[in-house]
């Protein structure tokens, strides 16, 4: 079964912090304070080492007790986001819950994205023509995407 | 939300990240993607040291004691239960609209509770 995601086609931010904030704001049912704490966690991980996993692709991620299910938000920037030393155009952000079996599922999700990026998969992401296609390439689905092609 | 509670949640998330980078499988996956697990973990440990220096000593001692005993010191209340020990929490505690405005502990296990809903 495909995991659900939200997608921001057309990230406006030009910096890492702004892009993370934009992607978190796409997530439904995430009230402001919780969103800010998740931003802190993700930025801590980034400060410890930028998560650029392929040229032009970053993957900010963490596990947090603030979520009870996987949250995945994908963004695409036309002009690129400074991450911070190199520009990325695709951002795959995900947060996994802290629960029994959580580390295994988190690891499985990293492995899933790694498999999608391998063998030219990362380059293909740049050719996606819309949010639904980008999500599909990543093995994800956007709820209601048939009626909302923008995904935003 | 109580500021000390927010700090404890942030500390917990930092500890989860540090622990995850010690887990063989997560570490392996991250390294396959070209991420430097060792360096990231070292940096996160330094960040933790800096962060805990700003915390109230009594609170930090409580957190460390719970974390060393249970592995998780802060847990969400889910469906009126402590998600750490699954004991039903007192109704008055759960129905208090200001329930996240102070540090509250599960009466049974002592873990620090927060309400996400």
pLDDT (tens digit, 9 = 90+) per residue, A54-73?
A: 999 999 999 999 998 999 99
Predicted confidence at residue A100, as pLDDT, reads 80
**Residue A150: is its pLDDT beyond 60?**
no
Give which of A42, A45, A47, A69 to mutate to test B binding, by max B Cβ within 10 Å.
A45
B20 and A63 in contact by Cβ < 8 A?
yes
**Residue A147: is its pLDDT beyond 50?**
no
Rounded to a whole number of angstroms, the distance from the CA of A90 to the nearest CA of chain B is 15
Q: Residue ranges of the alpha helices (H) in B33-87?
A: 37-52, 57-70
A48 and B72 in contact by Cβ < 8 A?
no
Predicted confidence at residue A152, as pLDDT, reads 43
pLDDT over 70 percentage in chain A:
95
Which residues fall within 8 angstroms of residue A108, CB to CB, at 6 or more apart?
none
- Across chain A, mean pLDDT equals 92
B10 and A49 in contact by Cβ < 8 A?
no
Strand order in the sheet with B81-82: B81-82, B74-78, B112-115, B104-105
User: In 3D, which of A123, A117, A119, A107 has the Cα closest to residue A138?
Assistant: A117
Of residues A152 and A124, more confidence is placed in A124
Per DSSP, A30 falls in state: -
A46's enclosing H/E stretch is helix A32-48
Q: How many CB atoms lie within 10 A of CB A81?
A: 27
Predicted confidence at residue B49, as pLDDT, reads 97
B35 closest CB neighbour out of A53, A66, A68: A53
Under an 8 Å CB criterion, which residues of A touch B? Answer: 33-34, 37, 40-41, 44-45, 47-49, 51-54, 59, 62-66, 68, 98, 103-104, 106-107, 110-111, 114, 117
What are the φ/ψ torsions at residue B96 (nearest 5 degrees)?
A: -70, 120
Predicted confidence at residue A146, as pLDDT, reads 56
B30 closest CB neighbour out of A33, A47, A110: A110
A-chain residues near B23 (CB < 8 A): 103, 107
Q: Which residue in this structure is represented by tokens 């190199």? A: A86
Greatest C-alpha distance within chain A: 40
Q: Which chain A residue has its CA at the smallest distance from B6's CA?
A: A37
Q: How far apart are CA A101 and CA A151, in angstroms?
A: 31
Q: From first to last of the 117 residues of chain B, give the pLDDT tens digit.
A: 899 999 999 999 999 999 999 999 999 999 999 999 999 999 999 999 999 999 999 999 999 999 999 989 999 998 999 999 999 999 999 999 999 999 999 999 999 999 977
Q: How confident is the model at residue A144 (pLDDT cuts 50, 70, 90)?
A: confident
Rounded to a whole number of angstroms, the distance from the CA of B61 to the nearest CA of chain A is 20
Q: Which residue in this structure is represented by tokens 């430097």? A: B36
B13 and A64 in contact by Cβ < 8 A?
yes
Predicted confidence at residue A108, as pLDDT, reads 95
What are the φ/ψ torsions at residue B29 (nearest 5 degrees)?
A: -65, -40
């Amino acid at each position: 079964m495909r995991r659900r995601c939200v997608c921001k086609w057309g990230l406006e931010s030009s910096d890492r912090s702004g892009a993370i904030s934009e992607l978190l704001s796409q997530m439904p049912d995430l009230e402001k304070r919780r969103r800010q704490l998740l931003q802190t966690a993700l930025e801590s991980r980034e400060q410890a080492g930028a998560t650029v996993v392929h040229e032009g692709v970053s993957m900010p991620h963490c596990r947090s007790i603030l979520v009870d299910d996987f949250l995945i938000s994908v963004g695409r920037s036309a002009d690129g986001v400074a991450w911070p030393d190199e520009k990325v155009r695709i951002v795959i952000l995900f947060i996994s819950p802290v629960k029994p079996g959580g580390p295994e599922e988190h690891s499985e999700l990293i492995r899933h994205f790694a498999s999608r990026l391998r063998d030219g998969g990362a380059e293909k992401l740049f050719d996606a023509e819309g949010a639904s296609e980008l999500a599909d390439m990543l093995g994800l689905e956007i709820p209601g995407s048939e009626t909302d092609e923008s995904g935003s | 939300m109580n500021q000390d509670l927010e700090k404890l949640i942030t500390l917990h998330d930092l500890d989860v990240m540090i622990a995850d980078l010690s887990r063989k499988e997560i570490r392996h996956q991250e390294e396959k993607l070209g991420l430097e697990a060792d360096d990231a973990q070292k940096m996160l440990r330094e960040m933790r040291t800096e962060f805990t220096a700003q915390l109230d000593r009594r609170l930090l001692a409580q957190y460390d004691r719970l974390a060393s005993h249970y592995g998780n010191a802060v847990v969400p209340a889910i469906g009126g239960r402590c998600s750490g020990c699954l004991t039903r929490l007192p109704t008055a505690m759960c129905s208090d609209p200001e329930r996240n405005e102070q540090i509250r502990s599960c009466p049974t296990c002592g873990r620090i509770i927060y309400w996400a809903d």
